[in-house]
Amino acid sequence: MPSLVLTLGDMSTTQAPLPGLDAALIGLASLVVVVPQILWPLAEHLNVMAHEGTHAITGSILGFGIKGVEINPIAEGGTDYRRPTLGPRRVVTAFVGYLGPSAFGLAAAKLITLGHIIAVLWLAVIFPVAIALLYVLTRYASAGLQVVMAYAMTWVLLLSGVRVALQDGANAGDADTLTGITRLPRQLWALLWLAGTLGALYLGVHLLVLRA
């Protein structure tokens, strides 16, 4: 059986992107997963992992020592890192979480347009909860199924970013943190998150469907 190291070579292989109509249909199917509350838990963990991962990555880049990232079974998470209580680095680190899923989704959409579709699945392996499922999918699934799943994961990230920005809004814990630091209203942060996630979705549609 080929090793995981060898199969990572698939990341360098390019695949032709799907026609715009097919990409749009996968997007609509992903919307059915993201919007109804009964199906939302299927996508929520991916959103939380991207959210907390963005906190951790940004904090690390800005010089904070990351102690750990926690994601519990009910899709709530937290990033524990050494940080000052005030300052621009603290503001940036607290702000980026709600933009994380959309940013990952937009990056995945760009990889797809460049033909690196299977690479999207491999990059998703960095999310701990998804390792086993995505490894099996990437290693054993047909090429067609891999492509569809890469598109679906990209759409889920883009759509879930908007859903959570709307759902949590000014009541988000990060909004409370940012208001405590800056004294700016919680509603401002909620509007910025919504604008950012909607903008990423707009660009994602252009990349995946319109190819513009």
What pLDDT is recorded for position 196? 96
If we measure between CA atoms, which residue out of 145, 152, 146, 113 comes closest to residue 24? 152
Tell me what the mean pLDDT of segment 81-87 comes to: 66
Q: Does residue 131 carry a pLDDT above 50?
A: no
For 212, which DSSP code?
-
Question: Higher-confidence residue: 66 or 36?
Answer: 36
pLDDT of residue 26: 92
pLDDT at 40: 87
d(CA 69, CA 181): 22
pLDDT of residue 132: 45
Question: Domain residues of the chain, as ranges?
Answer: 4-210
Residues 93/58, Cβ–Cβ less than 8 Å: yes
Q: Is the confidence at residue 175, as pLDDT, over 50? A: yes
E-strand stretches of the chain: 66-71, 77-81
Residue 82 has phi, psi (to 5 degrees) of -75, 125
Residue-wise pLDDT for 39-72, tens only, equals: 888 788 888 888 888 888 888 788 877 666 666 6
Contacts of 173 (CB under 8 A, 6+ apart): none
Evaluate if residue 113 carries a pLDDT over 50: yes
Averaged pLDDT score across all residues of the chain:
79
Supply the pLDDT for residue 165.
Answer: 95
Q: How confident is the model at residue 147 (pLDDT cuts 50, 70, 90)?
A: confident
Task: Find out whether 209 and 24 touch, Cβ atoms under 8 Å.
Answer: yes
